Homo-oligomer: A and B are copies of this chain.
Amino acid sequence: MAPFSPSRSFALELDSQDELASFREQFVITDPDLLYMDGNSLGRLPKVAVERARQIVESEWGDDLIRGWNKGWWDAPRRVGDKIGGLIGTAAGQVIVSDMTSVNLYKLTMAALSLQSGRKRIITDTMNFPSDLYILQGAVQSLGNRHEIVRIGSQDGELTPDLAALESAINEDTALVTLSHVLFKSGYLYDMRAITEFAHRKSALVLWDLSHSVGAVPISLDECNADLAIGCTYKYLNGGPGAPAFLYVNKALQEKLTSPIWGWWGQNRPFDFGLDYVPAPGVDRFLVGTQPMLSLLTMEAALEPTLNAGMDAIRAKSILLTDYASYLTEERLPPLGFSLGSPRDSARRGSHISIRHTDAYRINRALIEEMNVIPDFRAPDNLRLGFAPLYISFADIWDMADRIRRVILEKRHEKYPQERATVT
């Protein structure tokens, strides 16, 4: 960790050296006092997306009408897929934008289990997105309950996975290993290369959920020889609420895999209107049907700040932001009952941290309703704080830590009930 100092002026000094500082101006920020630490749930609105959304609605839908399909809509899933591919280390023709993350996970899981039909084990962990675990369970049910899902746990309160247990669980009966690249609660970052290599030694396929790493962490799917990946676009990529998700299929696997959902966009010659499905060559076969163009094309525009900044600069600032937030947490907050719930080693950490406190739910409420801070609460005791490097400053982090302190010192959390949020 860099030698930090606890004063606010030190934060301002860090900001003055921040090469990405000017990117903040590329986002719509109507309330400069708001500390928006939830970019890892829903990224801010890039200004370029505002103008693009108007154009899509008023010019493309309004004027081009059905002709829009020949003017860039039809090709969008591949075109935008390749743009995202550039952020996750893939050569062209391996990433498409389609559906939502869960649907893509279903498609790829079903395809992988069919290819590995002689194997019965699926390995994942208890710290994965629950939504991913549900999809795995549904896929197992779809295939007649012939598979076993093994969930690796943690030895330190869900901060980091038990890697020894993971390695011993992956064996010759393992069809698929599927993990979140960055864990949604603690921010722990898996070593993609090492785990992929280990799984391949047992001839297991590996499927990575990049939702919490894409746009925050450099990813090299091709170099790691990853098999499959999925991810969302509305977190660090700032694609907008519910913007369509993406999926990656390694070129070497594309012709061996078939989607369970035989969509007409994934048909070999969709405009022949033939009555029998023939899968398209390549990753296109994982397309399904007509995609939500307002959301998809607005997301495409919203990628621009990330593409312009580049993943190396984003990662460098992300490490400094999370190091600094970890330092302030451990320097200022333990006497108030907080502890750091994320890895101290930045090499094993994404762009968000968790701060644990037994009253985390109420503190979260007080921060939102009284302190103009937006964190996330994640049960049972995590305040989750996401630092989007394109618009979060070091002063924001200092102010955040200060407002967290004030909630406790001024007992602001005590008026809120000790129960879970209904929607976060």
Chain A residues with CB under 8 Å of chain B are: 28, 30-31, 36, 38, 41-42, 44-45, 49-50, 53-54, 57-58, 60-63, 65-70, 73-74, 99-103, 106, 110, 126, 129-131, 133-135, 137-139, 141-144, 151, 232, 234, 240-244, 258-264, 267, 271-277, 288-296, 298, 374, 378-379, 420-424
Contact = CB atoms under 8 A, between A and B. Distances in A.
Nearest to A185: B273
Given A28-B58, A130-B274, A292-B242, A106 B261 contact: yes
Contacts of A244: 292
Contacts of A102: 261, 263-264, 288-289
Contact of A49 (B30, B57, B264, B378): B57
A58 to B, nearest CB: 6
Given A134-B263, A271-B424, 11 more contacts: A31-B63, A57-B298, A73-B242, A74-B423, A102-B261, A103-B261, A103-B288, A134-B262, A135-B261, A138-B261, A243-B292
The number of times this chain is found in the oligomer is 2
Given A277-B138, A294-B295, A422-B271, A50 B57 contact: yes
A404 B217 CA distance: 57
A65 B53 contact: no
Contacts of A273: 130, 378-379
Contacts of A234: 290
A272 B379 contact: yes
A86 B116 CA distance: 46
A274 B128 CA distance: 11
